[in-house]
Amino acid sequence: MFASLVRPLSRKSSYVPVARFSTSFTVRNNATKESKSYNTILVETRGKVGLITLNRKKELNALSSELFHEVNDALETYDSDSEIGAIVITGSEKAFAAGADIKEMRDKTFAEVYKTNFLGHWGRINDIKKPTIAAVNGYALGGGCELAMSCDIIYAGDGAIFGQPEIKLGVIPGAGGTQRLTRAVGKSKAMEYALSGRPFTAQEAEKWGLVSKIFPKDQLLGEAIKLAEEIAGFSQPAIQACKEAVNSAYELSLKEGMHFERRLFQALFALNDKKEGMNAFVEKRAPKWTNT
């Protein structure tokens, strides 16, 4: 459901804000430093991992236009930072994001949303080259579910609740919900949950293949960052090529996808990192990636 329709969790939340989070960070790109600050998200750099935390707790992290523009800006900043290898997006233990901001949308007209391509900017996450991981605790409903599904990997807390309840508001998902859910869980289940607006659990989402792994809620973020650190420790060009190849499987036939994958594989032979990785393997030592 959307944020305005969600009831609080029955159990008492144990969420405690992480004190070291900051609403600003420094861009490191070709030695250029630029300080940025945000109103609705928190950002932190942990080694080679960029961490984005949605921070509208009173609204259950409802996805306002301001929040999504700030998420896009942080994503693009991390994507251009040569020292960042992967990005984690999370919320609070109560809500990853309980939907789009209904108060912001309710008075909009067809002409307005059509002329401005409303929600079009939500798709900018698709252009991020570096791997993105959604760490989902609590509610991930409507736009929150769509944001999670837009990430490359979803890790979920054991109490996470997903869903596309837009039908209860007289509309349908507008940021990929019908498309990504269908690709992940199949037509029948996608139809059932999109047409009924029913929520589904993290355990169901993992069983269907939508969620990669489930963890206790207090371990979720640490596990997501651990995965991001592992990914960020490899050659960035190889990681980006691998992400591009996997994503192409949604769009291409098997024959075309195999051809595309093989061409990317062959192209990586031009990298210094390919030589270093194979030499390190033969010499039984850890590789020293240069991302070139």
Q: How far is CA 180 from CA 92, 171, 183, 193, in A?
A: 24, 17, 5, 13
143 carries an active-site annotation: yes
List of E strands, the chain: 24-26, 35-37, 41-46, 49-54, 86-90, 95-97, 132-136, 139-141, 153-157, 161-163, 199-201, 213-215
- Considering 93, 146, 206, 261, which one is annotated as catalytic? 146
Six-digit token string for 136: 């989902």
What is the Cα–Cα distance from 107 to 118, expressed in whole angstroms? 13
- Considering 91, 138, 143, 176, which one is annotated as catalytic? 143
- Considering 3, 86, 97, 100, which one is annotated as catalytic? 100
- Considering 70, 166, 206, 261, which one is annotated as catalytic? 166
Cβ burial of 65 (10 Å; 0-12, 13-18, 19+) is middle
Beta bridge partners of 154: 134
100 carries an active-site annotation: yes
Give the type of residue at 272: N
What residues contact residue 79 under an 8 Å CB cut-off, 6+ apart? 87, 128, 129, 130
What residues contact residue 30 under an 8 Å CB cut-off, 6+ apart? 82
Residues that are catalytic: 100, 143, 146, 166
